[in-house]
Structure 1
Amino acid sequence: MPTLTQLAIIGTNEILYYRSMEKPEWAVLSGTLIAAALMIGNQGLHLEYILVLPILVSLFFFRKRLLYLAFISNLLIFFFIYNGFPEFRTIMTPYDLCTFFAIMLGILYIALQIIAQGKQMIADFMRMVTSEQDLVVKNAVMERLAKIDALTDLYNHKTMHEYLEQLIEQSNNNAMPLQLAIMDIDNFKSVNDTYGHAVGDVVLSRVAQAVKDALSQNEIIARYGGEEFVVIFPGKTLFEAYQEMEQTRELICSIAHDEMKGNRISVSIGVAEHVRGKSSSTLFEEADACLYYAKKHGKNQTVAKQHARKSSGSSV
């Protein structure tokens, strides 16, 4: 039959068990009380080493404070049982006492070393994870810098060609419509000559933003070089690409530039359609021919491939 002391310990332990859900200190004390109940219920046996249990529990949390709490509560419980229960005291010889304290101190030292080594391993692991994360971020930044034009935040010349080759291959294999537009700012040299290159850079950046605002995310927009921009239209017809570039041209023409005393700029645009079996250079030549036609015939207009072959008529 359990003694009143055991019942009190078990009841207290139940309370501490539920409290341990909130604080790990209660889990350690709960382990100490379990060990105490077993020692009191079996006073004729050497069960003092069951007090190692709360120390093991404290190791799960890797906190020295909890380890010291377990060690001190163990000593208090041991002295309470040793002084309060004669039957337990009779089986503990001086040698047993010395051995018990030596072993408990040894376990305390080993547990401290385990916590220290564990914390060091965790710290090393976190440094490794952080280092890998930094490397991933740096690689992403470097990859972006390699693909993006710094001034306009658009794809650069090299990246645009890479995407174009991939899309031409996809267009050839899947009969996907593919259009290419080349856009050039009209009289941009006079902007640099009149207002300076710093203002020219502002205008380039603003035009790039206008192009992004006018087009959808499905289009690939790149700064081709200087004041020229390229737009790739995957999955759209020539007429759809023409309409979108016309809307882009009108938006750019509507912008008043404070740096240029409120003056506006215009752009000329050439649009061409990829024909299955032809190369990217051929597509570029056809779009460039349309751009040349737009420049030669008054600028500030969008010209599609068919129009470049005619002296008059509609643009598409």
Structure 2
Amino acid sequence: MKMRSFPSPSYAQLQRQTKWIKWFMRTYWIVIAVHFAAQLLSFLLLPYPSDAHNFYYYILLYPTILMSAVTVLAQYIQHVSVKYSFYALFIAGTIISMYIIHLNMDIRIIPATILLPIVASTVFFRINLTLFTAGLQIIAFGILYKWDHLFRLYLNDFDLIAIPIFIIICTLVASIIIISGRELVNDLEATMIAKQELIAQNTMMSKLAKTDALTSLFNHISFHEFYEKALVHAEKGTPFHLALIDIDNFKKINDTYGHRTGDIVLSKVAQLIRDNMSPADIAARYGGEEFAVLLFEQTFEEAYKLMENMRKKIAQTSHEELGNRSVTVSIGLKSYSPNDTKVSLFEDVDALLYAAKRSSKNKTVTPFHPAQY
């Protein structure tokens, strides 16, 4: 069976792994402290096969100092080189486990601590680290067996076979856990990506549902949603202005140049409206060649000046599709007043728009700037 390969860890993964390394380093200190306390209490409270000098020097202080030095060195490597911190971590753990086994080999379960670094390596989900750690444990077992005569004394022939087999089995199990874990992570990442894509699609669909496909302005339905919200805020003291814009003689453009050209003109006029309004304002294609604009955060005179500037810009823009001719627009504009309702305000502005169209067009008509017939 072909083993699945995994990409190298990312920077974010290395950051998380560095956090775990620090936790393991703290655990080493806890293990050293607990071992120190256990040895001392055993000597003080239980029959102990050693005199005070040998105990304090060879069993308590010297091993504790050596294990502490190894841990400090591993922490220093972790601080100066993240790349080698994993190896320093497991080498230090192997040395600490060797000393604990050496000092407590009369406890039958103690040799099993040689498996703990392999199990711990699974936290990092890196098979190369697990294999490296397994190799360290085999080397550690060989060192203990060759140079520690007391270790050999407590082992029987079965142990010589069982311990290496347990190391191999533990390594295989750890590798399976890592592969399974990595596949689970990949599945979760795939699920997250799919979820993000779905959110993006929903966002796009929501945007499409709220905007007009031709002009990219808000559509008729969206305008009424914003209009109703504007009325609610206006009743609480935040007034606004409503403008309706209609392209003059648009039917003639469609009849003369075709609907495709009419669509291009509509799109260009919508762009001019968008480019010449305040970022706080909302523009929508209300229907056909008619646009609606909600104006906020400005006085009526400022709103009138903005709409007049917009009207002039549209009139000054030539269209290649119309033989470099321009189009004009008529505009009705009115501010919200406390007596207005949704229907009455819209009808008033609509009436102002048609007054502009009946009086030679290409003008902005308001209650303060009436049409001149």
Query: Normalising TM by the smaller chain, what interval?
Result: 0.7 to 0.9
Aligned equivalent of 1:287, options 341, 349, 356: 349
Contact 2:359/2:372 (8 A) holds in 1? no
The range that moved more, 68-77 or 111-120, is 111-120
Correspondence 1:148 to 2:211: yes
How much does 1:53 deviate?
Answer: 2.8
Q: Structure 1 stretch 29-38 or stretch 148-157: which is displaced more?
A: 29-38
Counterpart for residue 200 of structure 2 = 137
The partner residue of 1:61 within 124, 130, 152 is 124
Q: Does 1:233 align with 2:304?
A: no
Deviates more, 1:255-264 or 1:265-274: 255-264
Pair 1:254 & 2:312 matched: no
Post-superposition CA distance 1:99-125 (Å, at most 9, x none): 323332332233223223322332232
Alpha-carbon separation, structure 2, partners of 1:52 and 1:30: 14
TM-score of the pair, normalised by structure 1: 0.88
* Residue aligning to 1:264: 326
Instruction: Give the match for residue 171 of structure 1.
Output: 234
Describe the SS at the equivalent of 1:60: helix
User: Secondary structure at the residue paired with 2:280?
Assistant: coil
Residue identity matched to 2:162: T
Using the TM superposition, name which of 68-77 and 230-239 deviates more.
Answer: 230-239
Does the residue aligned with 2:326 lie in a helix, a strand or coil? coil
User: CA offsets, 1:130-159, max 9 Å, x none?
Assistant: 232222212211111110111111100110
Q: Partners in 2 of 1:203 and 1:26 — Cα distance?
A: 71
2:77 corresponds, among 8, 16, 19, to 19
Q: 2:152 aligns with which of 89, 105, 110?
A: 89
Q: Which amino acid is 2:215 matched to?
A: T
How many angstroms does 1:13 deviate by? 5.7
8 A contact 2:119–2:170 mirrored in 1? no
Does residue 119 of structure 1 match 2:182? yes
Tell me by how many angstroms 1:311 deviates: 5.0
User: Contact (CA 8 Å) 2:138, 2:167: kept in 1 or not?
Assistant: no
CA distance in 2, matches of 1:85, 1:100: 16
The count of residues paired between Structure 1 and Structure 2 equals: 309
Quick check: 220-229 or 202-211, which moved more?
Answer: 202-211
SS at match of 1:217: coil
- Contact 1:10-1:37 within 8 A present in 2 as well: no
Between the aligned partners of 1:28 and 1:227, the Cα distance in structure 2 is: 74
- Could you tell me how far apart the structure 2 residues matched to 1:66 and 1:137 are? 38
> Structure 2 vs 1, CA of residues 30 and 196 (structure 1 numbering), >3 Å: closer, same or farther?
farther
Moved more, 272-281 or 64-73: 272-281
Q: Take 1:154 and 1:120, find their aligned partners in 2: how far apart are those partners?
A: 45
Please say which of residues 73-82 and 98-107 is displaced more in the overlay.
98-107
Q: Contact 2:266–2:289 (CA<8 Å) still a contact in 1?
A: yes
Q: What is the DSSP-based 3-state SS (H/G/I as helix, E as strand, rest coil) of the residue aligned with 1:152?
A: coil
Aligned match of 1:78 in 122, 141, 156? 141
**Cα offset for 1:191?**
2.5
CA contact (8 A) 1:182 1:270 kept: yes
Following TM superposition, by how much is the alpha carbon of 1:161 offset from its aligned partner in structure 2, in angstroms?
A: 0.8
Q: CA shift at 1:65, angstroms? A: 1.5
Q: CA RMSD in A?
A: 2.5
1:185 aligns with 247
Kindly provide the CA deviation profile for residues 179-218 of structure 1, in whole angstroms up to 9, marking residues without a partner as x. Answer: 1111111122232333333332222222111111111111
- Counterpart of 1:259, as a letter, is E
Q: Secondary structure at the match of 1:230?
A: strand
Match of 1:210 among 255, 262, 272: 272
TM-superposed deviation, 1:43: 5.6
What is the one-letter code of the residue matched to 2:113?
I
**Is the Cα–Cα contact under 8 Å of residues 273 and 305 in structure 1 kept in the other structure?**
no
Q: SS of the counterpart of 1:221?
A: strand
- Cα distance in 1 between the residues matched to 2:264 and 2:77: 64
Please point out which of 101, 111, 122 is paired with 1:39. Answer: 101
**What does residue 109 of structure 1 align with?**
172
Asked whether 1:201 is paired with 2:263, we answer yes
Which residue in the other structure is 1:223 paired with? Answer: 285
Kindly indicate whether the alpha-carbon contact (under 8 Å) linking 2:248 and 2:327 is maintained by their aligned counterparts in 1. yes
Q: Could you tell me whether the CA contact under 8 Å between 1:286 and 1:305 is conserved in 2?
A: no
Point out where structure 2 has 5 or more consecutive residues left out of the alignment.
Answer: 1-56
Unmatched 5+ residue regions in structure 1? none
Bigger relative contact order, structure 1 or 2 (CA pairs below 8 A, ≥6 apart): 1
Q: Taking structure 2 as the reference length, what is the TM-score of the superposition? A: 0.75
Secondary structure in structure 2 of the residue aligned to 1:222: strand
